[in-house]
Structure 1
Amino acid sequence: MARDYYDVLGVPRTADPAEIQQAFRTLARQYHPDINRDPAAEERFKEINEAYGVLADPDTRARYDRFGADFRQIPEDYDERVAAAQGFGGGAARSGAYGGGPYPGGRSTAGGWSDVGFDTSGVDFADLFGSVFGGQAGRGGGGPMPGADQEAELTLSVEEAYRGGRRKITLGGPSGQRGYDVNIPAGVVDGQRIRLAGEGGQGSGRGSAGDLYLVVHVAPHPRYRLSGRDIHVDLPITPWEAALGAAVPVTGPGGTGKVHIPPGSSTGRRLRLRGEGMPHPKGAAGDLYAEIQVMVPSAPSPRERELFEELSTVSTFDPRTPS
């Protein structure tokens, strides 16, 4: 006997469409044959696909809830045909008022249809159900089953994520390698998903293919640090630039610009360049933060040493004294 479709997906019979879809996605990723090499995974995947194909469609789910595992063997105009045969006009039959087992108004027994809750005289049950058991039941069940969505990681440099553009990638799997031409939106961030419609698992019975989602991973960079759409970069400056102020160049993924160093700046001070961070196709771009790093010459020239010594004798500045 086929397993209950709700049990297959691990959801209660009261589950809403979102819960059913989430359960399907989770199980499909776990048991898809391209991911799970267990020989039993393929059969489990087919079972999951079949359950989702029934429960994801509101009309099919309603028939399954009403008729159970035999729902495919019952004609869609069942109520109308029974009602017409009895002269009830369809209302009572549609309401399921005739109680009983897997079908409203009766139950199936080894000898045929019996225990019907209304007068069956004159009803040709062979005509009513013959085409069902002789036709649809012989075709096998299932109907179209959608393919599973799949995920793969797409690693980008900070510069690639900033600029976006088209990129050819190759993904490997048990069935071999396959190439894709991917359009990367400018300003993608870590964890963002790029959808390739119809490039996921193949459906069955003319079911549509699933989607392939590329999960973006922005690789660490020697100069840039990302925080959402904000970009942080170190800005080395000289002691005199820090003390006197200066306009110095700062480079981000989008190019090089100038930033003004306020006089009296120390290491750790952050300067904000609004809108110079990662682009956002549907909103405001991030910001670029330049963090000051005051640098001294590792091997000062004789004249530089002389000037530093002179400064040390005339300056009263003590960074270790609280201001």
Structure 2
Amino acid sequence: MEFKDYYKTLELERGASEDDVRKAYRKLARKYHPDVSKEADAEAKMRDINEANDVLRDKEKRAAYDALADRVARGGSPEGDFQPPPGWDAGYEFHRGPGAGPADHAEFSDFFSSLFGAAERRGAARRHMRARGEDHHAAIEIALEDALNGAEREITLRAQTVDAQGMPQWETRTLSVKIPPGVHPGQYIRLAGQGMPGHGGEPAGDLYLEVRIAPHPLYRIEERNLYMALAVTPSEAALGAQVKVPTPTGGVVEVTVPANARNGLQLRLKGRGLAGKTPGDLYLLLEIALPPADSDAVRKAYQTLAEATSSFNPRRHLGV
């Protein structure tokens, strides 16, 4: 079996454009079509032209054929003894469907069948099988307020689909998504029937959206719990105090800072986190904020404090 030069058949150069292929095919078809041609070998010539056109106008087939031609040119192949090497078509998928061309593939050469025949039979089997569509997965980022209160948002997704000819193509679509209150990072929202189409009348797959919550200026999220840094003055931490704190849902509560509170102490507000069967909590992490010594009064207060706490050594654990 000889390796066929499809470019030579259509009288084209290797880098010919899709438009060049189309024009060359039409020109040769007018010359050799058996209904109009007076050439003695018109029928055989037309089969060769149809075969070359079928391959070169199909992006996947052409890419695979070009790669194989390069491989043959590098390694050489005894004339009249070509066999496609194992795995030559790895990474390519070939389709045939309505509008794929005027030629009957059954009349194509052994060379064509050895390259594309099995792949096209697999494609035909896929088109006639019955199977539910594949599920798709994507991510959606929402604001913390949406997770707390619920919301309805529009999202735009770009996904690969299959056209009527079985060829892959990219599709952009906009979907309306209902976000239930209490969703947390890593949770999935299921949109039924928004995945890949089914085969043979079977239903489409589903779309699963993984929830991600955008960073918030006040709150940090861990599962259903929320964490917020709460700044207190040295006197509030030392003597205890009642301080006002904003809540994630927009309200304000008053919390008790116990006397002798240390930096990093956690105060828990039960049930003030993300909603759920077991609601999360809001944790307030105390951060002692030192007033700047930018006035005589403050500097005097610090001096008085230093004298009153002269026996206190915060670095005692360092052994110095």
State the TM-score bracket (shorter-chain normalisation). Answer: 0.5 to 0.7
1:244 deviation in Å? 1.0
Query: Is 2:128–2:199's contact at 8 Å kept on the other side of the alignment?
Result: no
Taking only aligned residues, the RMSD between alpha carbons, in angstroms, comes to 2.5
Structure 1 residues 42 and 186: CA distance shift in structure 2, 3 A? farther
Question: What's 1:226 paired with?
Answer: 221
Distance, in Å, in 1 between the alignment partners of 2:154 and 2:179 is 10
Deviations 1:6-31 (A, max 9, x none): xxxxxxxxxxxxxxxxxxxxxxxxxx
Tell me if 1:291 matches 2:285.
yes
Query: Is 2:243–2:255's contact at 8 Å kept on the other side of the alignment?
Result: yes
Q: How does 1:134-283 map to 2 (within 5 A)?
A: 142=128, 144-174=130-160, 175-255=170-250, 256-280=252-276, 283=277
- Give me the TM-score of the superposition, normalised by structure 1: 0.53
Question: What's 2:38 paired with?
Answer: none
Distance, in Å, in 1 between the alignment partners of 2:262 and 2:294 is 20
Q: How does 1:281-320 map to 2 (within 5 A)?
A: 283-315=277-309, 316-320=311-315
1:300 deviation in Å? 3.1
Deviations 1:196-245 (A, max 9, x none): 00111111221101101101122333432211111111110001101111
Give ranges in structure 2 of 5+ residues lacking alignment: 1-90, 97-125, 161-169
1:143 deviation in Å? 5.3
1:279 deviation in Å? 0.8
Distance, in Å, in 1 between the alignment partners of 2:312 and 2:240 is 17
Judge which range, 224-233 or 294-303, deviates more.
Answer: 294-303
**Among residues 93, 97, 112, which one is paired with 1:40 in the alignment?**
93
Distance, in Å, in 2 between the alignment partners of 1:189 and 1:146 is 29
Structure 1 residues 262 and 141: CA distance shift in structure 2, 3 A? closer
Secondary structure of the corresponding residue to residue 307 of structure 1: helix
1:41 deviation in Å? 8.5
Number of equivalences: 188
Secondary structure of the corresponding residue to residue 286 of structure 1: coil
Q: How does 1:88-99 map to 2 (within 5 A)?
A: none
- Give me the TM-score of the superposition, normalised by structure 2: 0.54
Distance, in Å, in 2 between the alignment partners of 1:247 and 1:258 is 6
Give ranges in structure 1 of 5+ residues lacking alignment: 1-37, 44-139
Deviations 1:53-90 (A, max 9, x none): xxxxxxxxxxxxxxxxxxxxxxxxxxxxxxxxxxxxxx
Structure 1 residues 42 and 179: CA distance shift in structure 2, 3 A? farther
Query: Is 1:250–1:290's contact at 8 Å kept on the other side of the alignment?
Result: no
Distance, in Å, in 1 between the alignment partners of 2:95 and 2:274 is 42
Distance, in Å, in 1 between the alignment partners of 2:241 and 2:312 is 21
Distance, in Å, in 2 between the alignment partners of 1:141 and 1:40 is 13
Distance, in Å, in 2 between the alignment partners of 1:41 and 1:298 is 73
Query: Is 2:148–2:181's contact at 8 Å kept on the other side of the alignment?
Result: yes
